[in-house]
Amino acid sequence: MSEEMLSKVSDYLDSRVPLTQIAQGAEAVVFSTSTHPYLPLRESNKKFVIKYRPPKKYRHPSIDRALTKHRTLSESRLLAKLYLIPGLKVPQLIACDAYNGYIWLEFLGEFLPDDAGFSNLKNFLWMYADKDPYDAVVQETLSKVGEQIGLLHWNDYCHGDLTSSNIVLVREGGTWQPYLIDFGLGSTSSMVEDKGVDLYVLERAIVSTHSAFADVYKGWLMQGFSQVYQRHGEKGDKKLKEVLNRFQEVRMRGRKRSMIG
C-alpha cells in the first residue's frame, strides 16, 4: 500500500490510531488496531479490524462514491443481521462509515504455532497435513465449519465467496470455533442455486489445496452441514435434499466447464 494511502487513512482516523496493515484484497485494505472507534483510546487489550474500501481511480468519482457507499453499507447490514442468528459465528460489527468506505469489526483469530500462519481454515489444514491430516481435531473443526455454513443457509443467507481463507478459527475453551468472515459478496437468498454455489466454491478450495485428503474432509464438512437441516424434521430433510441435489448439479456443470476449458 502506498505511503499516500496510509497517510490518508491515518489522517481520516486520527494520527493517534495505530494501524497495522494485515491484508490488501481486490476490494479493500484491511488493518488491525488497538483503538476502539468511539470508546476511550486503548481501553483494553482487545484488537479491532478496519476494512477500508479506497476510491478506485478508474471509476467516475460519483459512481465510485455510490458503489463504495452501497457495498460498505450492504456488508455492514448483513453482518449486523447475521450476528443475531443464534449459533452463527461472524465478527461483531462495531462501526460503519459508509460514505468514506470504513467498517470497524471485532478482530478474530491468532497466529498458529510453528510459524503456520494466521488461523484461517486454509493454514490450519496445511498445519495438520504435516502432522496428522485425519486428527480428531481436524474432524471436529471441519464438522463445525459445515455446521456454520448449514446455519447460514438454513436462515436463507449466502456467503458468495466461501474460500478456506474466509473461515477464521478462534480458540474457545480448548477447541477451535470457526467464524465466517468477508460478507462483501454476501446476500439474503433462499435460492438453492446460491447455496449450491457456496458449497461448490468451498469444495474447490479444499480440493485444490488439500487434494489427498479432500474426500474425507468433504464428508466431515457435509456431516456438520446436514445436521443443521436434520434438526428440523421432515421440512429440514426436504430442504437438505434440494440443496444437496443442486450442489451436485453445480459440481457437474463445473466439471463440464473444466473439461471443455
Ligand X SMILES: Nc1ncnc2c1ncn2[C@@H]1O[C@H](COP(=O)(O)OP(=O)(O)OP(=O)(O)O)[C@@H](O)[C@H]1O
**Rounded Cα gap, residues 162 and 185, in angstroms:** 10
The smaller minimum CB distance to ligand X, of residues 165 and 189, is found at 165
Site membership for ligand X, residue 184 (CB under 6 A): yes
Which residues 3-62 are close enough to bind ligand X by CB under 6 A? 22-23, 25-28, 30, 49, 51
**Rounded Cα gap, residues 196 and 245, in angstroms:** 8
Catalytic site includes residue 161: yes
The smaller minimum CB distance to ligand X, of residues 91 and 224, is found at 91
**Tally of residues, the chain:** 261
Class of residue 198 by CB neighbours under 10 A (exposed 0-12, middle 13-18, buried 19+) = buried
Active-site entry in 161, 182, 194, 198: 161
Query: What is the contact mask toward ligand X in residues 101 to 120, using x (rule: CB under 6 A)?
Result: ----x-xxx--------x--
The smaller minimum CB distance to ligand X, of residues 17 and 243, is found at 17
Sequence-distant contacts of 202-207: CB under 8 A, at least 24 apart: 202/149, 202/162, 202/163, 202/164, 203/251, 204/254, 205/122, 205/162, 205/163, 205/164, 206/125, 206/164
The smaller minimum CB distance to ligand X, of residues 168 and 192, is found at 168
**Residues belonging to the active site:** 161
Binding site for ligand X (CB under 6 A): 22-23, 25-28, 30, 49, 51, 91, 105, 107-109, 118, 161, 165-166, 168, 181-182, 184
